[in-house]
Structure 1
Amino acid sequence: MEGPVPIQDAMASDTEPSNTIKVLHMLFLSTSWGMQVWVTFVAGFVMSRHLPRHTFGSIQRELFPYYFHISSTCAFLNLTLFAMSHPSERLSKEHMSQTIIFLVCIAASVLNTQWFGQVASDAVAELQLVESSHGLGQELGLAASEPHRQLRAPSPSHGQLARSFALHHALSSLCNLLCIVCNGLSLQHLAAQLSAL
């Protein structure tokens, strides 16, 4: 028959998350941050320079819903795991700021998933229809070419769509960068807790 659990062990298990929670937290945080860095700073730049405009736009329209939902899910799970291992009555200022970082990341991810990313994708689809009807969209790169600028002058609807896309794409990019910064700060917080590599 086993004896009572020593007081020190009981206190350690009360205040320190289990190894399973630590691994899950690291898994979700690193998956989210790695995916965000890859999509934002590698895949996006490579595809935008080497694919025709409409091909690039179509790929983004297909991938971004998955990207945004995975980011939102990871952000929510990170906050949940963090909250499970840090009861509110024992939250220090450092833990409180970490909680706020997770909440900001969730808010930015959800805004992207439910609004900015969706509106930008819808605007791209409409822009592609208008541009295809004028024989445009197979040019390499994203810079607006002279034919695209000429199309905006006689077609106010094209100009309005282009402005709507630019606005929502900028807001979506801002939310995405905010998530990258939040996840980077969370990784920095975790790295500071490591006693060894």
Structure 2
Amino acid sequence: MGFEMALTALAESGLSRASVLAPLHVLSYSALLGAELYQTFIMTKVCYESLPRSAFTTVQKRLFPIYFRGQAAFLLLTAVTVPPHGPLTLQSGMDSWLPFAVAGVTALLNLLIYGPRTRQIMVDRIHQGLIYLLVKSRASANFEVVSFSNRDLERREGRKRGSPAQPTDDMMRLNREFYRNHAMSIHLNLISISAMIW
């Protein structure tokens, strides 16, 4: 209701709704699509290739909640500013509202379900690796402080072939859960991007 009142006040000032909504729509759509493409295809790849695994995990668990919230907010702003009549314009036909509905559902699934699940499993995997290293250290009667390294965790997770360390059943279960939830999150994000390009 406040949005309609603001548009009415702007219309009374001599500006048409379309002249106000069009630039806002272009800016919000550009921010939405730009953020989606940058985060998905540039930022994640550069971080994965450049950072040690522990730093990559820390960055991702902090960055993706912000990204998913921003994605949902920009999607809403983009839908509200569709010219010439704002959200009423989306009622003109299915081809108008369907991309927003698809992108909205996928963004909300990532924001509320798959993003948090993936983040929690990522943390659980690290803890499982740390528990293994601590038990391994105590079993060898070596009570030194064990430093956590990417190599040990990768060996623990069974990531490197020919590695003598085999993953435990708990780690294999966490890996399966992580891959399933992470794949779902990736696919939902790609569907959201595709809907916005459509």
Task: Provide the aligned C-alpha RMSD in A.
Answer: 2.8
* Match for residue 122 of structure 1 among 120, 123, 130: 120
CA distance in 2, matches of 1:173, 1:146: 25
CA displacement at 1:85 relative to structure 2? 3.3
Q: Which residue of 2 aligns with 1:47?
A: 47
User: If the length of structure 1 is used for normalisation, what is the TM-score?
Assistant: 0.74
Q: How far is the alpha carbon of 1:86 from its aligned partner?
A: 6.2
Structure with the bigger RCO (C-alpha within 8 Å, sep 6+) is 1
Could you tell me which amino acid in structure 2 is paired with residue 37 of structure 1?
L
Which digits, 9 at most, give the CA deviation of each residue in 1:4-33, with x for residues without a partner?
A: xxxxxxxxx9xx842221111111111111
Deviation at 1:80, TM superposition (A): 2.3
Percent identity of paired positions between Structure 1 and Structure 2: 21
Q: CA deviation at 1:68?
A: 0.1
Cα offset, 1:87, TM superposition:
3.4
* Cα deviation digits, residues 89-145 of structure 1 (max 9, x gap): 971x4xx21210011101000000000011000000111112234265535xxxx94
**Structure 2 unaligned blocks of 5 or more:** 1-13, 134-146
| Equivalent runs, 1:120-159 vs 2, <5 Å | 120-133=118-131, 134=133, 137-139=149-151, 145-149=154-158, 153=166, 155-159=168-172
Are residues 19 and 137 of structure 1, via their aligned partners in 2, closer, same or farther at CA, if it must alter by over 3 Å?
farther
Report what 1:66 is aligned to.
66
* Aligned match of 1:192: none
Aligned partner of 1:60: which letter? Q
Gap change, CA 1:60 and 1:90, over 3 Å in 2: closer
Q: Distance in 2 between matches of 1:20 and 1:56?
A: 41
* Match of residue 180 from structure 1: 193
Task: Flag structure 1 segments of 5+ consecutive residues without an equivalent.
Answer: 1-12, 186-197
Q: Distance in 1 between matches of 2:89 and 2:57?
A: 44
Instruction: Return the offset for 1:53.
Output: 1.2
Give 2:96's aligned residue.
98
TM-score normalised per structure 2: 0.73
Question: Do the aligned partners of residues 151 and 102 (structure 1) sit closer, same or farther apart at CA in structure 2, a change above 3 Å counting?
Answer: farther
**1:54 Cα offset (Å):** 1.6
**2:80 aligned residue:** 80
